[in-house]
Amino acid sequence: MNAFKEKHWLPDEQVVLLAASRHARQNAFDLHFPAYSSQDPKTGEWRFQISVGQFDTASYTGSLTLTSIDPAAPPTLDHGYLTDPAGRDRDTLVHGLEIALDIVGRMSDAGYVASVLAPDTTKRSQEDLVRHLEMSIRTCYHPGCSCRMGQAGDQTSVVDARGTVHGLSGLSVCDASIFPILPRANNNLPAAMLAEMLAPVIGG
């Protein structure tokens, strides 16, 4: 409660909706809807936010570019959001927005929500939702797969099944970066499982 008194925010992600979009593969969910609430310290008004997160993305290639020879200068990071040529990620997230708006609409009908701040509920066309998506998209702070595990001939892989970097001896990696694909869950437990599996191999 001290954090709430200071910041007027509660980390209340206790109920999370998992859902399958129209592009979900293997009969598994690919959408994650965490919920948060906060109170305006001036008005006392409560706000409720439902975020739309996507797992199993097709846009998985970004770039990191150095901006200066100064080692303290921050690089330019492009996550490559919504860059898959087929547009599957964009359509998946728009479907997620539609689901979230349907939930909020039901809450409004039940008297729990007085108004919707964003997106504009008077604009529900695909084009309107795409514009909202493009303006608000960001990371969900569960990065992985940047040092992917795979066979030596795979151009997208960096380490083998033992975590050893291809082409180098004595160098291993054991963290969420070596996941071949992003788990459809928070990364902490999969990373712990990975460490248990590879620690004896790397240590030996």
194 Cβ contact partners less than 8 Å away, ≥ 6 residues apart: 174, 175, 176, 178, 179
Q: What is the largest CA-CA distance in the chain?
A: 63
Q: Which of 152, 170, 153 is nearest to 161 (CA)?
A: 152
Q: Which of 177, 202, 198, 176 is nearest to 187 (CA)?
A: 176
CB 165 within 8 A of CB 176: no
Q: Which of 8, 132, 142, 166 is catalytic?
A: 142
32 is catalytic: no
Catalytically active residues are: 142
